[in-house]
C-alpha cells in the first residue's frame, strides 16, 4: 500500500512537471487565455461550493428548528391558554410617611422612607393610615 502511494505521488510530481513544461512553452496570449479559463473555473467551483454549504446550513437550521419544536411540543401544556397579563386595580394607600406625606399601598418593594423609618426604630404598624 505504501508502495502504491509513493508511485501515485511520484506520478503526480511527474505530471505537474510535464504540465509546467507545457505552460512554459505557451505564449503570453495563450497564458492569459489559460489564466482567464482558470479564473472562470475557480469562480464556478466557489459558487458551487458556496451553494452546497448554504444548502447544508439550511438543512441544519431546519433540523434544529424541528428539534426545538419537538422539545417544546413534548412539554406538558397547562389546561388554560395563555392570556395577556391584566394590570391589577389600584389600591388605596395603607401606609403614610408623616414627614413627607408619601404613601404606599403595601404592594411591591418597601419604599425607602418606610425602610428608613423601620431602621430608625419605628414599627410598620406605626405608619398605618388611620391606625390600620
Q: Which three cell numbers stand for residue 66?
A: 424541528
**99 shares a domain with 69:** no
The reply to whether 17 falls in a domain is: yes
C-alpha cell at 35: 489564466
Task: Classify residue 110 by burial, with Cβ atoms within 10 Å: 0-12, 13-18, 19+.
Answer: middle
pTM, rounded to two decimals? 0.36
pLDDT averaged per 10 residues in sequence order, the chain, 132 residues:
52 66 81 84 91 92 77 58 74 89 90 92 88 57
Is residue 85 included in any domain, yes or no?
no
On whether both 59 and 102 belong to a single domain, the answer is: no
Same domain, 16 and 56: yes
Which structural domain range is residue 47 located in? 12-73
Residues 62 and 20 in one domain: yes
Amino acid at each position: 500500500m505504501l508502495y502504491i502511494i509513493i508511485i501515485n505521488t511520484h506520478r503526480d510530481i511527474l505530471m505537474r512537471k510535464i504540465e509546467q513544461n507545457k505552460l512554459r512553452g505557451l505564449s503570453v496570449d495563450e497564458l492569459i487565455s489559460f489564466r482567464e479559463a482558470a479564473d472562470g473555473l475557480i469562480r464556478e467551483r466557489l459558487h458551487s461550493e458556496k451553494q452546497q454549504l448554504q444548502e447544508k446550513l439550511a438543512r441544519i437550521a431546519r433540523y434544529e428548528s424541528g428539534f426545538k419544536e419537538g422539545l417544546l411540543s413534548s412539554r406538558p401544556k397547562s389546561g388554560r391558554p395563555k392570556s395577556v397579563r391584566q394590570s391589577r386595580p389600584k389600591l388605596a394607600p395603607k401606609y403614610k410617611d408623616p414627614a413627607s406625606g408619601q404613601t404606599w399601598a403595601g404592594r411591591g418593594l418597601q419604599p425607602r422612607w418606610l425602610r428608613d423609618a423601620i431602621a430608625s426604630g419605628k414599627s410598620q404598624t406605626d405608619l398605618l393610615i388611620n391606625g390600620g
